[in-house]
């Protein structure tokens, strides 16, 4: 796997690949890779495709009191994992390359960015949209892969791609989970052993709520029950919501696919998860 840390080198390598007839697929990440990220790389791999992963811990998507300085960084093992997964090229831009002095542009997607994590983390999705727009212009992929784990992020990216005419096919990859159901996340390393045991209550509560809603329970009651279960398990709940899977508006219109979204904190660690309610 080739590793690039400067934009000119990256662009030269990509031009050469394109001239050789290869398609370019992009997997953006913040590193501290796990099997969830690797599932994106595997989804991106196809004959004739150059798979590019990026690792960039994007300061613009962290709030002032969030975990930017302690976010896990594992470059050596990340490179080994990507190489094993058959990734062709790694883009590792330094922060000064992404945001040089004088950088003044912000990409803001209204609507889908506004509720849920957008409300809990002001500015977060502007940071995500801005960096992903830059990555798209730097790498110019024909396809890009994002995890359904970050369900609202995926909706924000899809909206941005449609609105700004990026000629890029976006694929959402199903959430990869531990054996007990906890969604894989780079932030799971923050969990103390007893918190890790409690964390499984999050996917379980979503499963119970999804089954209840499908069985006809009033959604408001199912959401209140999930919140109570999580609180009893030691979580501080930011939100548990039933939304339209496309618009992310609550009170989905009948006939539209519905998704449960949740964010809750265990000690200093904030976990998010989501689950489709309606069978495909
Ligand atoms: P991150 O490094 O956390 O910014 O994530 C990079 C990409 O990997 C995003 O598109 C995430 O949605 C995706 N991702 C993270 N965790 C998982 C998971 N457990 N399953 C599938 N995709 C994931």
> What is the reported pLDDT for 251?
77
* Percentage of residues of the chain with pLDDT beyond 70: 100
Per-domain residue ranges for the chain? 2-173, 186-274
- Residue 175 beta carbon below 6 angstroms from any ligand 1 atom: yes
> What is the reported pLDDT for 255?
85
Tell me the pLDDT band of 28, cut-offs 50, 70 and 90: very high
Q: What is the pTM of this model?
A: 0.97
Alpha carbon of 124 to ligand 1 centroid (Å)? 16
* 7, 135 contact by CB (below 8 A): no
Ligand 1 atom closest to Cα of residue 32: 2
Tell me the pLDDT band of 186, cut-offs 50, 70 and 90: very high
pLDDT in tens, 70-118: 999 999 999 999 999 999 999 999 999 999 999 999 999 999 999 999 9
Which residue among 37, 121, 134, 143 is the active-site one?
A: 37
Alpha carbon of 31 to ligand 1 centroid (Å)? 10
Cα 204–chain centre separation: 20
* 198: pLDDT strictly greater than 80: yes
3-state helix, strand, coil in the chain (%, to 5): 40, 20, 40
pLDDT in tens, 208-256: 999 999 999 999 999 999 999 999 999 999 999 999 999 999 977 778 8
Mean of pLDDT over the chain: 97
Alpha carbon of 275 to ligand 1 centroid (Å)? 15
- Residue 274 beta carbon below 6 angstroms from any ligand 1 atom: no
Does residue 37 have an active-site annotation? yes
> What is the reported pLDDT for 162?
98
- Residue 155 beta carbon below 6 angstroms from any ligand 1 atom: no
> What is the reported pLDDT for 100?
97
Q: Which CATH architecture does the domain made up of 186-274 adopt?
A: 2-Layer Sandwich (3.30)
> What is the reported pLDDT for 280?
76
Q: Which residue owns the Cα nearest ligand 1 atom 6? A: 29
Domains 2-173 and 186-274 share a fold: no
Strand bridging mode 89-91 / 2-4: parallel
Tell me the pLDDT band of 153, cut-offs 50, 70 and 90: very high
> What is the reported pLDDT for 91?
98
* 22, 50 contact by CB (below 8 A): yes
> What is the reported pLDDT for 235?
98
Task: For domain 2-173, give the fold.
Answer: Rossmann fold (3.40.50)
Nearest to 197 by CA among 242, 162, 235, 166: 235
Query: 3-state DSSP call for residue 98?
Result: helix
d(Cα 113, Cα 178) in Å, to the nearest integer?
28
């Amino acid at each position: 796997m080739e590793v690039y840390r400067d934009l000119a080198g990256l662009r030269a390598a990509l031009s050469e690949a394109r001239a050789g007839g290869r398609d370019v697929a992009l997997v953006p990440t913040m590193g501290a890779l796990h099997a969830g990220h690797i599932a994106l790389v595997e989804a991106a791999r196809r004959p004739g495709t150059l798979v590019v992963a990026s690792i960039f811990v994007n300061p613009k998507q962290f709030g002032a009191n969030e975990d930017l300085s302690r976010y896990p960084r594992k470059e050596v093992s990340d490179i080994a994992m990507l190489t094993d997964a058959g990734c062709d090229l790694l883009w590792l831009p330094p922060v000064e390359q992404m945001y040089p002095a004088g950088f003044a542009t912000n990409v803001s997607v209204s609507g889908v960015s506004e509720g849920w994590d957008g409300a809990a983390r002001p500015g977060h999705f502007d940071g995500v949209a801005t960096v992903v727009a830059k990555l798209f212009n730097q790498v110019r992929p024909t396809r890009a892969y994002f995890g359904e784990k970050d369900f609202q992020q995926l909706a924000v990216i899809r909206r941005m791609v449609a609105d700004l005419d990026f000629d890029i096919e976006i694929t959402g990859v199903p959430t990869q989970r531990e054996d007990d159901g906890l969604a894989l996340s780079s932030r799971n390393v923050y969990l103390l052993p007893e918190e890790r045991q409690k964390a499984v209550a999050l996917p379980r509560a979503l499963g119970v709520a999804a089954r209840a809603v499908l069985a006809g329970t009033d959604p408001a009651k199912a959401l209140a029950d999930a919140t109570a279960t999580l609180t009893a398990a030691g979580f501080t709940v930011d939100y548990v919501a039933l939304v339209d899977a496309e618009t992310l508006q609550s009170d989905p219109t009948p006939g539209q696919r519905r998704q449960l979204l949740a964010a809750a904190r265990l000690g200093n660690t904030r976990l998010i998860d989501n689950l489709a309610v309606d069978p495909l």
